[in-house]
Structure 1
Amino acid sequence: MIKKAQVLVLFMLFSALPVNASEINALSSVKIETLGELAPAISRRFVGRVDAVSNVNLSFQVAGHLINLPIQQGRLLPKGSLLAELDSTDYKLALEQAKVRLKQAQRDVDRKHLLLKSNSVPRAVVDEAEDQLHLAKIAVEAAQRNLSYTRLDVPFDALITRRLASRYVNLAAGTPVVRVQDVSELRAHIGVPEDLIRLVNNPDLIQAKLLLPNNESTFIALEYREHATEPDPVVQTYQVTFGFERPQALNLLPGMTVTVVVTADPRLHPVEQLDVALSALNTANDGSYYLWVFDPELGQVTKRKAKIGNINGDRVTLLSGAIAGEQVITSGGSHLREGMKVKPFNHF
């Protein structure tokens, strides 16, 4: 058996053998990132709501008996299509009556002009007759307009949402008859936090897309339309609205929820602003942050204190600690030591 003294001697002999320092300090591989090389683009996913351009309750501007309501809920009608129609008999009679009175007023003016030439009537009588003629013309125009109001047409490409009245009922002017939605295009509304709402000041540098349900490989490109400047009182987000053409092959209806991906162009960020992978940050005992900066010439790492700004997903704004062009370690930082030699490996 080997005695304890012999074991101690053997340990001391092996400890005295020369060992290659690089074998002690070398880490098998680390992942590095060159600062400023990756564009600091912001890409976020939001749960959005599809909506129509507008929702309108349509009604007649005159009272009458509803005799025609040839619509079906859920149908898409082109602009100018008939929605509803009132019995126009009374309005046609009113128009004929107004036309007769116009003819009477015209004959009266002509007769009094002849009398004026022979000085049989004063000028004031002629002026009064001309006023009556003008009022008769206005009455004809009003009667024609009221007759046109007995027909309710679609003012835009509309989706019939709901019938609000039934045939053969007497309607007062302004009574809602049908609710329609303007679907000349659809809108997607999302709630954006305050750290991103500033980006909409440059809408041309924002790209947004709507992911189709159950198939995220295909999407619909969105165009910026408007944004609210007051936050929601409950969730404190700002509503941003995008527009898109209504897809024919997909039954996408107002009120449905969708996924919207918004990507901000890197040009929206200040030139001097750098960001780095969140995994590159290490926390010291005092709660401060530090980075491991890689020197490609020496093949070793150096510890640097770092200050950070806003966190965007898996990226963080770097305020100090490294400059553009320097390489930082983005994985394995807890196993590094000052001056340790490492082998970069960028194919994780």
Structure 2
Amino acid sequence: MTSTPAFPPLKTYLTIIACALLLGGCSSGDEPASEPPRVALVEPLQPAEPQPEALRLSGVVQSVTTTQLSFEVAGRIERILIDEGTRIRRGQPLAELDRVDYQLQLSEAEARLRQLQADLARKRTLLAEGILAPAAIEALEANTVAARVARDSARRDLERSTLSAPFDGVVARRLVEPNMVVAVGTPVFEMQDNRHIEVSVDLPEIAALSIPLGPELKAEGQLVIADVSLPLRYKEHSTQPREGARTYRLVLQGEPPEDYNLLPGMAMRVSVQRPPRPQASQDQFRLPLSALQADSDGGHYIWQAADGRARRLAVELQEVEGDQALIRGDGLQAQLPIIVAGGSKLHEEQPIKVQERN
């Protein structure tokens, strides 16, 4: 009877092969490959110093000075020299009256003065010769003084027949037309001082309590209809609320941008800096929210960069302010290098290549 040779089971063969591979690997003398370092963005830990807060309000652009200009003498308007919206300089002529009557008055006054001065000169010669008594020329001297005053007045009236700009600005409106006869004080132009602008803000009661109403106030305005912003400074504020509202008028002043026409009535968003709130604790620190990691049990931790490795530090989250987190924890100190990005992919003692965040 022929017998069938016995073969080992398949499991035995697999075991033998595995052992052979293992022994072969050990005999080669190779070490396991080390883990490559991971690039880590690092920032120094900062103390949780108080931060100023911005209060956002609505404002309206105003002109610093709006003045109605008028002639100081009466007459018929002969010429208007500028148009509405024109930028003008101080002393620039704006309009002229008919000057004929004022020129005639000046000529008459000058002739009268010359005649009296000539008479006075002749009589002083006679006085020096002893022909006339001093009392004989006293009336003539008084008349000469009066004639000089009349001459100066006529000259001034002639100069005032031209209306000039009292300051740099813009002609907002023209209120008369050529050939109109105007009296003294009749408004001719409305002129605005555009070297500065003012922004009027309605300040709520709660805001009035918490911001410095004085020269130390800092603010920024942004035009609603365009990407235009400018720094603003404090000018004045009212101490009485507006009628029917619990708001106070705050006036800010700034310099208008050169490339835009900021006109009265334009809407502006105003950001006013509030003083920082008092610091709650001396052992609080501030870091980017991206550096904070969460445990499965609801706790928080951060990664410290230490000697080229990542080390985990447990922390207590105190508050979140925008993209910043306020934390507290044992072993924390200012300027400690903290990994601020990619913390979810790190593990304890992982090799890292430190790169400071710009």
The TM tier, using the shorter chain, reads: 0.5 to 0.7
| Residue number in structure 2 paired with 1:251 | 261
2:249 to 234, 239, 243: 239
Amino acid at match of 1:251: N
User: In structure 2, what is the equivalent of residue 89 of structure 1?
Assistant: 100
Q: Aligned partners of 1:180, 1:81: CA distance in 2, in Å?
A: 13
The amino acid across from 1:131 in the alignment is A
- Alignment deviations for residues 42-95 of structure 1 (CA, whole Å, 9 cap, x no partner): 421111111111111111111111111132222222333321111101111111
Whether 1:190 aligns to 2:208 is: no
Partner of residue 285, structure 1? none
**What root-mean-square deviation, in Å, do the aligned CA atoms of Structure 1 and Structure 2 show?**
3.1
Aligned to 2:239: 229
Report the counterpart of residue 43 of structure 1 in structure 2: 54
Counterparts of 2:214 and 2:90, CA distance in 1? 34
In the other structure, the counterpart of 2:186 is 175
Query: Take 1:125 and 1:193, find their aligned partners in 2: how far apart are those partners?
Result: 78
More divergent stretch after superposition (91-100 vs 103-112):
103-112
Task: Report the more deviating stretch, 251-260 or 234-243.
Answer: 234-243
TM-score (norm 2): 0.61
The CA distance in 2 between the partners of 1:264 and 1:121, in whole Å, is: 85
1:121 matched residue in structure 2: 132
Equivalent residues of 2:214, 2:234 under 8 A apart: no
**What is the CA distance between 1:196 and its match in structure 2?**
4.1
**Inter-partner Cα distance in structure 2 for 1:328 and 1:60:** 72
Corresponding position of 2:153: 142
Q: Residues of 1 paired with 2:208 and 2:220: CA distance?
A: 17
User: CA separation in 1, counterparts of 2:91 and 2:103?
Assistant: 22
Indicate if the aligned counterparts of 2:49 and 2:279 stay in contact, CA closer than 8 A: no
Q: 1:50 to 1:107 in 2, by over 3 A?
A: same
State the alpha-carbon separation in 2 of the partners of residues 210 and 46 from structure 1: 9
**Residue of structure 2 equivalent to 1:101:** 112
How far off is 1:98 after superposition?
0.8
Runs of 5+ in structure 1 lacking a partner? 1-35, 277-298, 301-326, 332-345
Maintained 8 Å contact 1:209/1:221: yes
Distance (whole Å) between structure 1 residues aligned to residue 161 and residue 220 of structure 2: 43
Contact 1:210 1:258 in 2 (8 A): yes
| The structure with more radius of gyration | 2
Matches within 5 A, 1:1-348: 37-39=48-50, 41-197=52-208, 199-204=211-216, 206-214=217-225, 219-266=229-276, 273=278, 329-330=318-319
**How many angstroms apart in 2 are the aligned matches of 1:57 and 1:210?**
28
Q: Under a length normalisation based on structure 1, what TM-score does the superposition of the two structures give? A: 0.63
User: 1:66, 1:85 within 8 Å by CA — same for their partners in 2?
Assistant: yes
Q: Could you tell me how far apart the structure 2 residues matched to 1:330 and 1:229 are? A: 36
CA contact (8 A) 2:213 2:234 kept: no
How far off its partner does 1:265 sit? 4.2
Q: Aligned residue for 1:15?
A: none
Q: How many residues align?
A: 246
Partner of 1:317: none
AA partner of residue 234 (structure 2): Y
Q: Give deviations 1:187-233, integer Å, cap 9, x for gaps.
A: 111122344446445422x21111133556x5211122222333323
Aligned match of 1:13:
none
- CA gap 1:44/1:201 in 2 versus in 1, 3 angstroms: closer
User: What's the CA shift for 1:176?
Assistant: 0.9
Q: Is the 8 A contact 1:40 1:275 kept in 2?
A: no
Tell whether the 8 Å contact from 2:223 to 2:267 is kept in structure 1 after alignment.
no
In 1, the alpha carbon distance for the partners of 2:158 and 2:81 equals 19
Amino acid at match of 2:90: K
* Unaligned residue ranges in structure 2 (runs of 5+): 1-46, 282-297, 300-315, 321-339, 342-358
What displacement does 1:128 show?
2.2
* CA–CA distance in structure 2, aligned partners of residues 221 and 62 of structure 1: 43
* 1:175 to 1:215, Cα distance in 2 relative to 1, 3 A: closer
Q: Taking every aligned residue pair, what percent have the same amino acid on both sides? A: 32
1:80 is matched by which residue type in structure 2? G
